[in-house]
Amino acid sequence: MIRADSLGSIAAFVQAVKSGNFSSAAQRLHLSRSAVGKAVARLEEQLGVPLFQRTTRSQKLTLEGELFYQRCLRILAELEGAEDDLAPGRPTPRGRLRLSMPVLLGRRCLAPILFELAERWPDLHIELSFNDRKVDLLEEGIDLAIRSGPLDDTPGLRSRRLGEDLMVVCAAPAWLARHGTPRTLDELARQPAVLYSRGVEGAGWVFEDPAGRMLEVRPPARILLDDLDAMLLATCRGLGVTRLPNWLVAPALREGQLVALSFAERARPIALQAVWADTRQLPVRVRLVLDTLIERLPPLLAAPGMAGPAPSPTP
């Protein structure tokens, strides 16, 4: 049974998991390695189960250790949230906030908003991770993750919609001059394309017709990339038709480097959502970021007035 004075041992255990070993955890906690080891041993004795599988070269969590770790993260998050809410006067965001986000969306749209928050709140310490993979929030100690597309039904996580990526199907004028401008989805499906190799909708582009029905188009891949910036460059060089977020292609459309293609069906937007570990008390710093992104992000995604009318393709 866990005693009321075990909070220090719990903190040592959580840091040992996040750091990967007792030595790194000891450095972060300003303790000796033996002190961290003893704290974890006390927890194992109180719980009556081993939390780590230890070998001479490595250590990893047991099944019981993983379950206990996830519960500890929720408990510590609630304690941090309670501390923020009980601070004298108006609750202010403070402490470390770790966020994970898609690379290009993070650089272009999210980071500027978060930097403004860091300037406004000096006690808020922001740590950003830019990557396009699906991170494990609990395993990697992430407070908030921004994800594109449909979410998996993962236990222990909550989510909130931030907005949606408005998708634009486009091509360079030179490409359209050589291959013709597709007027229907059937014609689009025959155009060689610059495709994203890790698309949230697989290889297909999803459209919605006027009746609300979903239609999928799978153009043949001429260029396959896992970087949106590279896709934009390849498309501007006339290497195929593509589908990219409006916030990314708007300048190229405005300058005439690309032409937006229109169909009776509209390209289905891709939802952007924030995901975090389920806790009863959400820390002030997390609530601040969520509320700010909900307010500030949709106008950036829509980029009103940036694209303007697309120039007519060369016949």
pLDDT in tens, 197-209: 875 445 689 999 8
Give me the amino acid identity at 36: V
Name the strand (E) or helix (H) holding 273.
strand 270-277
Residue 130 has pLDDT above 60, yes or no: yes
User: What is the chain's Cα-based Rg?
Assistant: 24
Q: How many angstroms separate the CA atoms of 41 and 285, rounded? A: 33
> In terms of Cα–Cα distance, which of 259, 277, 36 is closest to 168?
259
Q: For the chain, what is the largest distance between any 2 Cα atoms, rounded to a whole number of angstroms?
A: 78
- Residue 283 pLDDT: 83
Q: Which of 35-49, 109-123, 289-303 has the highest mean pLDDT?
A: 109-123
Whether 71 contacts 275, CB under 8 Å = no
The 10 Å Cβ neighbour count of residue 50 is 14
For residues 89 and 216, give the distance between their C-alpha atoms in angstroms, rounded to a whole number. 54
Could you tell me where the DSSP H helices lie in 121-245?
Answer: 137-140, 173-179, 185-188, 228-236
What mean pLDDT value characterizes the chain? 84
Q: How far is CA 78 from CA 84, 105, 263, 265, in A?
A: 10, 30, 49, 46
The confidence score (pLDDT) of residue 110 equals 94
* Total-model pTM: 0.67
Q: If pLDDT is split at 50, 70 and 90, which confidence band does 91 have? A: low
On the CB side of 302, how many CA atoms lie within 13 Å of its CA?
9
Q: Name the one residue in this structure whose structure tokens are 């990557």.
A: 131
Q: Which of 5-9, 117-121, 235-239, 292-296 has the lowest mean pLDDT?
A: 5-9
User: Is pLDDT larger for residue 237 or for residue 3?
Assistant: 237
Residues forming beta bridges with residue 273, ordered by sequence position: 147, 161
The Cα–Cα gap between 299 and 302 comes to 5
Residue 278 has pLDDT above 60, yes or no: yes
Name the residue among 68, 67, 287 with its Cα closest to residue 158: 287
Average pLDDT over residues 82-90: 56
- What tens digit of pLDDT does each residue of 171-217 get? 999 999 999 999 999 999 999 999 998 754 456 899 998 888 899 99
Share of the chain above pLDDT 70, in %: 86
The more confidently predicted of residues 171 and 13 is 171
| Span 278-306, average pLDDT | 80
